[in-house]
A and B are shown apart, each in its own frame.
Chain A
Amino acid sequence: MTQNYRLDNIGLINRDKKISFKFNGVTYFGYEGDTLASALLANGVHLIGRSFKYHRPRGFFGAGVDEPYAIVQLYRNNETEPNVKATEQELFEGLEATSVNCWPSVNFDIGAINNLLKIFLPAGFYYKTFMWPKSFWYKVYEPFIRKAAGLGVASIEHDKERYEHKYEYCDLLIAGSGPSGLASAYAAAKNGARVILAEDKPRFGGTLLTSEVNIGNRTGKEWAENIISELKEMPNVIVKNRSQVFGYYDHNMLVMSEKLSDHLPKTKKYNPKQRLWYIRAKEVLISSGSIERPLVFGNNDTPGVMLSSAAKEYLKVYGVLVGKKPLIFTNNDSGYETAIEFKKNGVDPIILDTRKEPKSEIIDEAKKLDIQIKFSYVVVAAKGYKKVKSAEVAKISDNKNELGTVENINCDCICVSGFWTPTIHLASQSGNKTTFNKDIDAFVPGLSKQNETTLGAANGTFTLEETLKKSFESGYELSKKITNNDNKTSSPTVMEKKSTTHDKFWCVPLPKGKTYKRFLDFQNDVAVSDVEIALKEGYRSIEHVKRYTTLGMATDQGKTSNLNGLQLVSNIENKIVPEVGHTTFRPPYTPVTIGAIVGREIGKHSKPTRKSPMHSWHEKNNAVFVDAGIWVRPRYYKIGEETLFEGSKREAKNVRTNVGVCDVTTLGKIDIKGPDAAELLNRVYTNAWLKLPIGKARYGVMLREDGIVMDDGTTTRISENHYHMTTTTAQAANILSHLEYYLQLVWPELNVNVVSTTEQWAGAAIAGPKSRNLLQKLFPNIDASNEGLPFMGYLETDLFGVHARIFRISFSGELAYEVNVESDNGNFMWEKIMEVGQEFKIQPYGTEALSTLRIEMGHIAGSELDGRTIPYDNSLEGLVSKKKDFIGKRSLDRKAFIAEDRQKVVGVVPIDKKTSIPEGSHLVKDAMAPIPNPKLGYISASCWSVEYDNPFSLGILKDGKNMIGQKLFAMSPLKNKTIPVEIVSSHYVDPKGERVRS
């Protein structure tokens, strides 16, 4: 294919570098610096997709972010990305793209039958049609809609690209590098401010790249290039292209998406594909420019109908003619600029101007160039299906209501200009109260809420001279406020052609007897008739009209459609636009990839991974790991082909018969010091703490103020004013915060310090009948007898020269000790325990055996302390002091908490002694009772009792106290199981607790 629509001597593309690419399987050529859109247009390709609802052919409408149609599926480096705008996607060698929303092909699309059925697809069609019959929704309607809806296909492959987040602070963030952005950035940078200048396109300069102006005796483009290269050299300035500031959040935080690699065939090694910048700016200058408004007429969605500014950009930036017989349809002077560019490049345009006899310098120039101009003329309808072939035009009466005789003009494109809409999205997101400017028929920023200033076209200023003057001033004034410097840059002289006022007319009436669709929202296929229906049906609020018709709800967020929609509503309602109001602008201004939002926090990076100092030993010894909160813990140590069930059973049994060792480093540890430490403990725990002797540990339970159990653990008195608290692994961080809350805010008079020491100590639990023998061998200098180190005793000693703390505490219910050494010595301790323990048949055990041991002992843990239980429920009422006050005590008087039939922890055994009960099963009286079967309780934890060799579970059961011996059913609808069970004591093994004291 040859580039028949490419001009030789104009444009900013690099003609030395030819690039081949594929669209819908056909190979084309473009140049470096092209977008996919400009390269396709150079090849005369105008049909790019199908519309969302009616599947009407779609071409190109814009040349940048405002594009509503040209959405493609992109293929790059063996990955695919949906919803890519062809007008933004830069061309690279080997690019492949396909049309979306059409099947089997863009040229022959079966969905286009919707276009013939369009009379049946009016506004609110989905709401009205798919409601009845109700049963049809899941089977018929939803699958059909799902298949028909959506633009493109998301990849189901893992995204191999890297995305980064960056935090930045600056004095001034400037969004947009058009004339106002460049001028204000320059003035502020020269005055010493730290400036970030962001441009969403690859090229800096905005409209200066396409307009015929002179600044300080240079062309606008040259001036822009000079300013940019000077800014790039300044150390206090960050200049970023391909970077869209898409969101303005609280406290002057803005978020910018930088595309570093999307324009390359492949991301460079070690580079991210995209980078998300969180920028905290002292001041923000919004120089985001404006977007041309469409004029509305019949079939104005036909490929070949496009914004006149886009046609000019394709010509001047890419050297591409969007047509060779252009018709320019305008209500203002901007259309003339496009016409003049066509004429200068050897193409004869025809201008249709809705105005009667306007006069201005630009119009004079067009006349001088012999461009054919028809005043008081409108396009009634575009003709042609997949491409504009001609236009029906007519003279329009002075009151704009009557059309004259319809004539036909041959043309291959219709460039429309309905004047300009300032891009106020960022200002509005910041909380700015926008106001309606009658002179330009559009909203402009009003009273600022945050430190934001809008300049240039985004503020409704459409002359270059005024824009530059104000921008140089603003850049200087704002930077002066921050830097206190006084280096003022003066505004250069400007030469530009003066234009005259625009015509408020924007929507062409239908000729008698014609029913042309006149589109407002091009991406969501919302026509004038749809808005008329919505209003007829009683929708008044613009927010409701928007949702009912979907006007402005497409991925382009109504950049070209919102204002025309508002004008239409106000015309029909006989209101003025500001009374109708506008819908809310929400970030992001343009779509942002999920990858960029997530950044590097994916997979294993989504949270920190904590490993104990003994982790490498576990790895070497075939540990199978499990995530326990942010920790990675051995679940069991696999021998041969052992399953989890077999392995954990072996480990647990070895603890009951010999001795086992478990890595308990993950337990939360808090160091508590100060003269009032005992008083603090006495207030946070439910039991008494004032008389705990030095060298003793005590088990304690903490409540929240609402009486619910928050955590449990042991705290040991190390010395007079020094305590060592342990918490459950999961609650460690919360408990520290909890203690800090009470110490800093509620009881600041308590002289206590708390600090987390979880990572400072490595812990090993040695449990089993032979643990004393092992301990004595490990620590020959201590008296390990029951008298020398009794249950809940504590002592400090050394382990082969390493400082160690020994606590005689037990979670397994066996005679047990917990040894702590400083983390660096953890591995040494572990290896010594294994080495010395060999003669006692020691085996390491993981979390699964740990659970088994505690469950059959009836020791409660996280699954019982689930945020719904009080001490009584966990049979901990013996630990609740009646004499003293503590956190949450007052709540325990609540009626429900003292009810006679209050829930309580129980043991649950299957009657067949074989079937394991799934955790979460409901306990019910009658398995056959109709749904919803009244629930008496639930299974909180299940294990295989190694003591009795049958399944055993813990449950929280209503009136559990009086239910021992009862026969119930455990039902798990999830696992489809109903198991007859007997309720027994929760203390299944060693109910008197003799072993721990032996």
Chain B
Amino acid sequence: MLHIKCPHCGMRSQNEFSYGGDATVKRPELNKEVSDQDWDNFVYNRKSLRGKHKELWQHISGCRQWIKVERDTATHEIFKTVKANEDI
């Protein structure tokens, strides 16, 4: 079980969190033209990376804040966790 440092609450066990996918995916802006390819990339296309991965987690059984986590998908090492409004 991973040990994740919530930037709001401190070190907590993984079972307090829920995973939220790739943190680098940016939603296209509202009311803007989006090409089929860009929309597909946003909705569906994800890379299954081996190595450092920036991802979202929600501290769902804690402060309910979404956070950003940089984790190695092969070793599970966590390098950094930041708040939702901070860059990772």
Contact = CB atoms under 8 A, between A and B. Distances in A.
B37 interface: no
B27 interface: yes
Interface in A721-769: 737, 740-741, 744-746, 748
B76 interface: yes
Nearest to A733: B60
A203 interface: no
A745 B3 contact: no
- Among A251, A252, A253, A748, the one with the most B-chain Cβ atoms within 10 Å of its Cβ is A251
Contacts of A891: 39, 43
Nearest to B66: A744
A249 B2 CA distance: 8
Size category of the B interface is 20 to 34
Contacts, number: 54
A167 B2 CA distance: 14
A925 interface: no
B18 A737 contact: yes
A705 B38 CA distance: 13
B58 A740 contact: yes
Interface residues of A, number: 25
Given A280-B13, A705-B42, A890-B34, 11 more contacts: A167-B13, A249-B1, A250-B2, A251-B1, A251-B3, A253-B1, A253-B3, A706-B43, A741-B20, A741-B58, A885-B30
A59 to B, nearest CB: 41
Contacts of A449: 75
Given A890-B39, A891-B43, A745 B56 contact: yes
Contacts of A885: 30-31
A431 interface: yes
A706 B39 CA distance: 9
9 contacts: A250-B76, A251-B2, A251-B78, A278-B1, A280-B3, A706-B43, A741-B66, A744-B66, A744-B84
B85 interface: yes
Interface in A220-269: 249-253
Contacts of B27: 705, 746
- Among A740, A744, A885, the one with the most B-chain Cβ atoms within 10 Å of its Cβ is A744
Interface string B41-67: 011100000000000101010001110
- Among A280, A886, A890, the one with the most B-chain Cβ atoms within 10 Å of its Cβ is A890
A745 B84 contact: yes
A133 B58 CA distance: 54
A638 interface: no
A253 B4 CA distance: 12
B84 A748 contact: yes
A748 B85 contact: yes
A238 B20 CA distance: 38
A469 interface: no
Contacts of B31: 884-885
- Among A167, A449, A706, A740, the one with the most B-chain Cβ atoms within 10 Å of its Cβ is A740
Contacts of B84: 744-745, 748
Contacts of A250: 1-3, 76
Contacts of B34: 890
B88 to A, nearest CB: 12
A343 interface: no
A607 to B, nearest CB: 14
Contacts of B85: 744, 748
Interface string A866-905: 0000000000000000001110001100000000000000
A683 interface: yes
B77 to A, nearest CB: 9
A168 to B, nearest CB: 12
A251 B75 CA distance: 10
A249 B15 CA distance: 14
Contacts of A886: 30
A804 B32 CA distance: 43
B28 A890 contact: yes
B32 to A, nearest CB: 8
Contacts of A890: 28, 34, 39
B82 to A, nearest CB: 12
Contact of B30 (A280, A683, A737): A683
A885 B29 CA distance: 10
- Among A167, A740, A745, A891, the one with the most B-chain Cβ atoms within 10 Å of its Cβ is A745
A937 to B, nearest CB: 26
A740 B75 contact: no
A740 B66 contact: yes
Contacts of B3: 250-253, 280
Interface in A103-145: none
Interface string B1-32: 11100000000010000101000000110110
A668 to B, nearest CB: 15
Given A278-B1, A431-B75, A890-B34, A745 B42 contact: no
A740 B63 CA distance: 11
A253 to B, nearest CB: 5
B70 to A, nearest CB: 15
Contacts of A278: 1
B64 A251 contact: no
Nearest to A255: B1
B67 to A, nearest CB: 9
A903 to B, nearest CB: 21
A141 B58 CA distance: 50
A740 B66 CA distance: 8
Nearest to A746: B27
